[in-house]
Amino acid sequence: METVKMMELMRQRHSVRRFTDEPLNEEAVKVLQQEIDNCNRESGMNIQLITNEPEAFQANKPSYGQFKGCKNYLVIVGPKGKDIEAGYYGERIVLKAQELGINSCWVALTYKKGKAQGTEKHGEKRYLVVALGYGESNGDGHKLKSITDVSDFKDGDPEWYKSGIEAALLAPTAVNQQKFRFDRNGEKVALRVSGLGFYTKIDLGIVKYHFEIGSGKGQDVWKK
């Protein structure tokens, strides 16, 4: 998909916690499952789509953990030590869902882990889940840091670098912390955690995906 359209999807996507009773469109589910299969083949992850399952988010209870009516979710499963991949490929699927008109919310704590479906193979772990569905609204944006808050960007730097950082600032992060930092050396970019925070490695994966899309550079942009 072209960068301009992907950037628009990033701007449109906000966390949604209150969903209608409308089941996911069957054709949309097929397309989303295909994207999940592609991501799992590419990454070695074991991400799973669960539909019409009300127990994990107690969908029949009003506003459980701020959630309402959630009966669909992604289970982000993969080999241990793959936190960055969990974020990277999870966000790729989330943006595909957004393209299909499906709202979402990354969720680490406020769901019933013992009730959630999905399986883990030996050596795998469940990182978190992503709530999916048709929202009562499309959610609200969160306050963004400035480009210079999260990078060494200065006047005269390449436009691709600026565009990548702008896309990264649209990435969902735990409690909207945006605890990341970019530094550029020529055509290569280093990305690191800035400060302490929960789920920062997963956040880095999400941020990496956004930067690659915004910059148009792909995975080769990263400094080893």
Please check the confidence at residue 89 and state whether its pLDDT lies above 60.
yes
Quick check: 28 and 101 in contact, CB under 8 A?
Answer: yes
Please check the confidence at residue 72 and state whether its pLDDT lies above 90.
yes
Q: Which tokens hold the place of 125?
A: 């772990």
> Is the model more confident about 179 or about 41?
41
Q: Which tokens hold the place of 91?
A: 């966000």
Average confidence score pLDDT of the chain: 92
Please check the confidence at residue 64 and state whether its pLDDT lies above 60.
no
What pLDDT score was predicted for residue 1?
61
Most confident of 44-58, 134-148, 170-184: 44-58
pLDDT band at 143 (very low <50, low <70, confident <90, very high): confident
Q: What is the spatial distance between Cα 148 and Cα 130, in angstroms, rounded to a whole number?
A: 30
Q: Which tokens hold the place of 72?
A: 């669909």
What average pLDDT does the segment 24-53 reach?
A: 98
83, 94, 167 from 105: Cα distances, Å: 18, 9, 18
Q: What is the spatial distance between Cα 167 and Cα 209, in angstroms, rounded to a whole number?
A: 9
Phi/psi at 211 (5° precision): -65, -45
> Is the model more confident about 56 or about 153?
153
What pLDDT score was predicted for residue 196?
65
DSSP helix/strand/coil, 151: strand
> Is the model more confident about 45 or about 115?
45
The pTM of this model reads 0.93
Taking the CB of residue 216, how many other CB atoms lie within 10 A of it? 15
Q: What is the spatial distance between Cα 36 and Cα 47, in angstroms, rounded to a whole number?
A: 7
Q: Give the angle 117-17-168 at the CA atoms, nearest 5°.
A: 95
What average pLDDT does the segment 119-125 reach?
A: 95
Q: Burial of 133 by CB count in 10 Å (0-12 exposed, 13-18 middle, 19+ buried)?
A: buried
Residue owning tokens 């730097």:
157
Q: What is the spatial distance between Cα 161 and Cα 181, in angstroms, rounded to a whole number?
A: 13
What average pLDDT does the segment 61-86 reach?
A: 88
Please check the confidence at residue 76 and state whether its pLDDT lies above 70.
yes
